[in-house]
C-alpha cells in the first residue's frame, strides 16, 4: 500500500492541493472536499504512471502537525 501526505490550501476562489513526496502531483477543486477527492485521483494516476514507466514510487517521508499557540503568546 502507498500512503502520501496531501496539503490542501485555500486559494483565491478555490482550493489547491499537492503532495510533498510527489513533486508535480497537484489538483484543485471548488471546495476542500473536491480538492481532496481530486488529489486522490491525481495520486492514483501519478503512481500508476510511475509503475508503467518502471520508475520507483517514492517513499513517503512527509508528515503534518498543527502547532497551537495560546492567545497572547506572540
The domain limits of the chain are 7-52
The pTM of this model reads 0.85
pLDDT tens digits for range 4-33: 999 999 999 999 999 999 999 999 999 999
Report pLDDT for 1.
Answer: 85
Distance CA 13, CA 19 (A): 21
Which residues are paired to 15 by β-bridges?
Answer: 10, 29
Report pLDDT for 15.
Answer: 98
Q: How many CB atoms lie within 10 A of CB 33?
A: 11
User: How many alpha carbons lie under 13 Å from residue 48 in its C-beta half-sphere?
Assistant: 6
Nine-digit cell at 24?
508535480
User: Distance from CA of residue 33 to its chain's centroid?
Assistant: 12
Report pLDDT for 72.
Answer: 83
Amino acid at each position: 500500500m502507498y500512503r502520501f501526505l496531501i496539503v490542501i490550501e485555500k486559494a483565491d476562489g478555490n482550493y489547491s492541493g499537492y503532495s510533498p513526496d510527489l513533486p508535480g502531483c497537484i489538483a484543485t477543486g471548488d471546495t476542500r472536499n473536491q480538492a481532496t477527492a481530486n488529489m486522490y485521483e491525481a495520486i492514483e494516476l501519478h503512481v500508476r504512471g510511475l509503475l508503467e514507466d518502471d520508475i520507483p514510487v517514492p517513499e513517503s517521508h512527509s508528515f503534518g502537525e498543527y502547532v497551537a499557540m495560546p492567545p497572547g503568546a506572540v
